[in-house]
Structures are given as structure tokens and as C-alpha cells.
Amino acid sequence: MRRWVSLTGLARVCFFTAFVTSTGCSWIYGEDGLFPDNTARYQEAPELAVITVPPSAGTGDAAIDPTYPIPEVSENFRLESEFGVPRPTPLTSASQYETVRIQRLGDESWALVAVAPGQLWPQVRAFLTASGIGVAASDAQAGLIDTQFVELKERPLSTRFRFRVDSGVQRNTAELHVLQQNQAVDNSSWPEGSDDLELEQEMLRNVAQFIANSAESAPISMMADRAMSAAGRISLEDTESYTRLRLMLPFNRAWASVNKALPEAGFAIDDKNRSEGVFYVTFVGQQEDDDGGWFDWMWGGEDEHPLANKQYMVKLASLSEDEMLISLFGTEGGQIPRRDQQALLTLIKGSIN
């Protein structure tokens, strides 16, 4: 009985499908169907006069400029051979898995934050609001926030702070610097360094902790995001004769950053000469506890990397006070294959902060 009912329903469906197909869906779309033939209507359409452009509208090149022009493409890599595909630059460094980290170099301290500058800016403003500290002035384009003078417990003098947001070395990272100044007779300008380093570092730790706690729900400042680039301050340059890194940092900080980055990138530092800006290193490759990596992709997954245990020179050269070039040479300062330069400098690039 159930089988007969099923077959009957199937017959009805087939009859309905055949009916719709044979009638051409005229009961839904009319006698002409879904795609009517409008050839006759087109042929009977009247011809209109030619449109004339008034002289005031102009007919120069500006009138036909494309709305979305295609920007010029600058090459970042030049291939050594026709089929020599270089490994893409890492999007993030290993240290970016930490949301906030305090960095120190001598008396200078800053917070390295794994967010774009446009996202760090409103977090600093939110910290000041939550702390009840008034803002005296702010400049999103310069990344500056100046506070009013505030009285702190166990502090004889009122104090104020300047927060400076910069783009980080790696892309989509930001740096937060704090400058502290005690109230004095003349506070028309800010000092080069804080009057109280202990108070500066305490404020930096407090705002860093606030940022770490609110990182997931942080808003974005469009004005600060447009003013401060999230592209980072390091780039890989490649020409027909060499490959090098361009790092927008002063020498002291660049030297300290490279000194820290080389072991993280798989290099053992054998010796170094700071006055000449040279590191003498040996590439040791991946550690045994690593579960593969991009070198496996690049070199075919060999058990031992072909560049392991080879010695190199990493040289820093100053282009200006705040711009450095990082190059890789052989032990005697000679050129090495550009493919090897690309691979090893890419590792170093991803570890510099």
C-alpha cells in the first residue's frame, strides 16, 4: 500500500514537470516566456540626435581620467633564475604572539604591542579616562597625548605625562613611549628625558597591563590609523647584485635588536665588532624540537639544511641617524648567492623588533 502511494506521488510530480516544460512556463511569465524576443521593438526604436558636449565641459585628458587608477608596482624581489621562486616575507614575527611586552635599552623603555598603531591610540585614551587623568592636548597625526598635571600619592610634586604612539618594526605592531615631567616654574616645553625614570617605568607598566587586559575589545582610531603606518619599519630590498634589509632605527637600537634577533633566527654569534657594525655568525638551522618550517618547503624537506654550519658576516651600515642597512656576506666579506641572502635575511627580518 505504501509503495503504491509513493509511485502515485512520483507520477504526479512527473506529470507536473512535463506540463511546465511543455507549456514553457507561460502561466508564470506570460506568452513570451522568460526570455522574450525584443528584436522587432529594437528595430522600431526612433533614432535620437547626437549628443554634443558644451565647450565649458572640456574634452581634455582630465575628462577621461580613470576613476580607479592602477598604481605603479615596485618589485620587491628579483628572481635569481626563471624558476627560482623566493619565499614570501613572514607576516608576523615569533614575538608577536605576545600581546604586550616591555622593551628596554639603557635608560629607555617602551611597550611593544602586537596591534596596529590605530588600535593602540584609543586604548591609551581609554586608560587615561579610566584612571581619571585629564588630557591637556592630543595630536593623532604625531601620535602624541599630553596629560594635565596630576597629584600622585607620596609624590611631593605634581607631574604630567606624554604618551607617544609609533609604528613598530614589524608590520601591524606599535610602540608606546612614556615621558614624565615634574611641575616646575617653566613647563613650556618637554624635556628630552623623564625627570623621574622610576615613575615613568611605573606608568608604562600600568598602561601596558591595561592594554593587555583590553586587547580583544580595543576600538580603532581611523585618524591615527591614517597618520601612522602599520607597514612597519623594516623591509627587504633586492637588486640584481645584492639583497639587504632596510631598518628605520638609530644605530644603538638597531645593533641591540639584531644582536637579539640573530639567535632567534637560527644563528650562533661567534664574535662581533660594534665599532664596525659587524656580527660574525654561524647558521645552525632549525632546532630538533621544531616541527618543520618554511625551509622544508624551500629546500625540499631535507633532514639537514644545506646552509647549516656555514659562517657569515652580518653588517650594519648607517645611511642616516635613524636609518640602517643590514647586509649578509661570506666570512671574508665576499658575496654569497642571492638565493641564500634572501632566505637568511628573511629569517633575520622576522625576528627583529
Task: Enter the pTM of the model.
Answer: 0.66
- pLDDT recorded at residue 222: 54
Ranges in the chain annotated CATH 3.30.310.170: 94-227, 234-349
CATH 3.30.310.170 fits 234-349, yes or no: yes
How far apart (Å, rounded) are the C-alpha atoms in residues 232 and 191?
27
User: Would the pLDDT of 17 be above 50?
Assistant: no
DSSP assignments along 212-227, one per residue: HHTGGG----HHHHHH
- Whether 71 has a pLDDT exceeding 50, the answer reads yes
pLDDT (tens digit, 9 = 90+) per residue, 217-234?
Answer: 656 555 555 556 667 899
pLDDT band of residue 20 (cuts 50, 70, 90) is very low
Q: Provide the pLDDT for residue 45.
A: 79
pLDDT of residue 242: 82
Mean pLDDT for 159-163 is 97
pLDDT at residue 236, rounded to an integer: 92
Selected residue with higher pLDDT from 201 and 98: 201
- Enter the DSSP assignment of 3: H
State the average pLDDT over residues 243-257. 95
Cα–Cα distances in Å, from 1 out to 9, 10, 11, 54, 118?
13, 14, 16, 82, 71
Q: How far apart are CA 204 and CA 101, in angstroms?
A: 11
pLDDT, tens digit, 9 for 90 and up, residues 169-213: 998 899 999 999 999 989 999 999 999 999 999 999 999 999 988
Quick one: average pLDDT of 299-305? 55
pLDDT reported for residue 199: 95
User: If we measure between CA atoms, which residue out of 290, 255, 294 comes closest to residue 90?
Assistant: 294
Q: At 328, give phi and psi (nearest 5°).
A: -120, 130
Closest CA relative to residue 166, chosen from 140, 202, 198: 140
DSSP state of 243: E
Taking residues 118-130, report their average pLDDT. Answer: 91
The per-residue pLDDT for 10 is 43
d(CA 316, CA 252): 11
Mean pLDDT on 251-260: 96
Report the relative pairing of strands 234-238 and 135-139 from DSSP bridges. Answer: unpaired
The fraction of the chain above a pLDDT of 70, given in percent, is 67
Q: Residues in the chain, how many?
A: 353
CATH superfamily, domain at 94-227: Outer membrane protein assembly factor BamC (3.30.310.170)
Res 8: pLDDT: 43
What mean pLDDT is reported for the chain?
78
Higher pLDDT residue, 37 or 134? 134
- Chain Cα centroid distance, residue 24: 57
pLDDT bin (cut points 50, 70, 90) of residue 297 is very low
